[in-house]
């Protein structure tokens, strides 16, 4: 079930979750884990319906699309960015990007780093010999038998199990500080997981925050409301009381409401209106992955925040069939778009502006 598609319709939901409501909020016995640990089971618990990705403008943004397109077309900074992306900009160093990209320089510098191929661990013969020498020295210090001794006669561990700890020194271990920095880490360690990433999650997150910030700030007009919706990089933690269950989920930043208070520019509400979730891997095939399940946790968390801000108690919400969230209207996924393509980036910028305008109206109403 791990690679099963998220349900699109009620009929598909029953095919994927034939035993529901055994796993519903009202009948589920075991605790609901944090949002970062969600998977296909939680998709079923919260009855999440998700359309396949599409390039069709989401219905809730249609009323703001024309105005957003106009703001992009009339803005000289946006047009300069699109022209630069149509040129061989990848040949520019960061100083040249700062002088050429104007207000979008920080975004473009971050994008160039995200697009760089990750540096794979060098495992050539010389490096392997150096590491083997370090392991031999470590075994000698710990009186651990080397490969080929009596230990080699033992029954090998089952496939998929973790190798003995002596085979993989800690990621902080350096037998010789003057030696190369590469030492193999335990496959279960966070360093090993980091090595397997396609892109740095930190770099991807920073790149998206800079794009969101630049597009939102550069597209403002004097007719916009006095309060400001701004993208913040500070994580937001949602804690949701769902019936007898409680879970929490933390995003990578989001769209928040800020204003001047007590001489400081600061958030005026704990509510996060849009959530940012940067992942190292993304599959356009529509297969369910951890990222999509975690996005569902954010959606539930944001909705619960708004319910609380409107003076409704979470105890007043009916969770049995998850009536608090309009998943039966389906979650629309707009994309996938490439940031480095000027035509597709124009669409992304238009969507960001439309989303900000729609959220501003939501606040005012």
Coil, helix or strand at residue 224 = coil
Single pTM value for the model: 0.72
Q: Has residue 18 been placed in a domain? A: no
Nearest-angstrom CA–CA distance, 200 and 339: 16
Torsion of CA 349, 352, 355, 360, to 10 degrees: -110
- In this predicted model, what pLDDT tens digit does every residue of 129-175 receive, in sequence order? 444 555 555 555 555 444 444 444 444 444 333 444 444 344 344 44
> What is the pLDDT, as a whole number, of residue 285?
53
Q: Has residue 98 been placed in a domain? A: no
> What is the pLDDT, as a whole number, of residue 159?
36
Residues 179 and 250 in one domain: no
H or E element that contains 84: helix 76-85
> What is the pLDDT, as a whole number, of residue 20?
86
Q: Has residue 276 been placed in a domain? A: yes
In sequence order, the 6+-apart residues with CB closer than 8 A to the CB of 202 are: none
Q: Which residues of the chain have pLDDT under 70?
A: 1-5, 117-199, 226, 279-289, 311-330
Distances from the Cα of 190 to the Cα of 186, 193, 195, 250, 256, angstroms: 9, 5, 9, 19, 31
- In this predicted model, what pLDDT tens digit does every residue of 52-82 receive, in sequence order? 888 889 888 999 999 999 999 999 999 999 9
Q: Which domain holds residue 129?
A: 125-196
Is 185 in contact with 191 (CB distance < 8 Å)?
yes
Q: Has residue 6 been placed in a domain? A: no
Residues 230 and 83 in one domain: yes
Residues 279 and 183 in one domain: no
Residues 171 and 315 in one domain: no
Residues 237 and 299 in one domain: yes
- How many independent structural domains does the chain possess? 2
Residues 176 and 231 in one domain: no
Q: Has residue 77 been placed in a domain? A: yes
Q: Has residue 250 been placed in a domain? A: yes
Q: Has residue 244 been placed in a domain? A: yes
Looking at 145, 176, 196, the residue that finishes a domain is 196
Q: Has residue 99 been placed in a domain? A: no
Residues 181 and 251 in one domain: no
Residues 64 and 183 in one domain: no
């Amino acid at each position: 079930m791990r690679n099963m598609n998220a349900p699109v319709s009620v009929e598909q939901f029953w095919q994927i979750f034939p035993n529901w409501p055994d796993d519903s909020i009202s009948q589920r016995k075991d605790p609901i884990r944090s949002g970062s640990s969600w998977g296909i089971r939680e998709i079923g618990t919260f009855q999440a319906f998700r359309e396949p990705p599409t390039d069709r403008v989401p219905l809730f943004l249609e009323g703001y699309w024309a105005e957003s397109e106009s703001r992009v077309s009339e803005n000289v900074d946006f047009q300069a960015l699109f022209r630069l992306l149509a040129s061989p900009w990848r040949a520019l160093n960061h100083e040249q990007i700062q002088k050429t990209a104007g207000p979008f320089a920080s975004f473009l510098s971050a994008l160039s780093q995200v697009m760089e191929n990750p540096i794979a661990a060098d495992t050539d013969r010389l490096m392997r010999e150096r590491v083997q020498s370090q392991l031999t020295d470590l075994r000698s210090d710990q009186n651990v038998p080397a490969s080929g001794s009596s230990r080699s006669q033992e029954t090998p561990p089952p496939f998929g199990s973790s190798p003995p700890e002596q085979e993989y020194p800690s990621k902080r271990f350096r037998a010789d500080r003057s030696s190369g920095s590469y030492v193999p880490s335990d496959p279960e360690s966070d360093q090993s997981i980091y090595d397997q990433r396609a892109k740095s999650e930190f770099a991807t997150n920073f790149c998206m925050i800079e794009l969101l910030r630049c597009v939102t700030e550069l597209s403002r007009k004097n007719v916009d409301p006095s309060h400001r919706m701004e993208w913040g990089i500070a994580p937001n933690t949602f804690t949701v009381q769902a019936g007898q269950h409680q879970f929490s989920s933390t995003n990578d930043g989001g769209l928040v409401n800020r204003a001047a208070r007590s001489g400081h520019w600061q958030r005026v509400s704990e509510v996060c209106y849009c959530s940012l979730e940067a992942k190292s891997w993304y599959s356009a095939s529509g297969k369910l992955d951890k990222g999509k399940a975690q996005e569902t946790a954010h959606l539930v968390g944001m909705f619960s925040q708004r319910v609380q801000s409107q003076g409704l108690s979470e105890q007043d919400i009916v969770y049995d069939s998850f009536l608090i969230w309009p998943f039966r209207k389906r979650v629309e996924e707009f994309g996938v778009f490439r940031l480095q393509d000027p035509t597709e980036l124009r669409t992304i910028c238009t969507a960001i502006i439309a989303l900000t305008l729609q959220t501003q109206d939501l606040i005012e109403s």
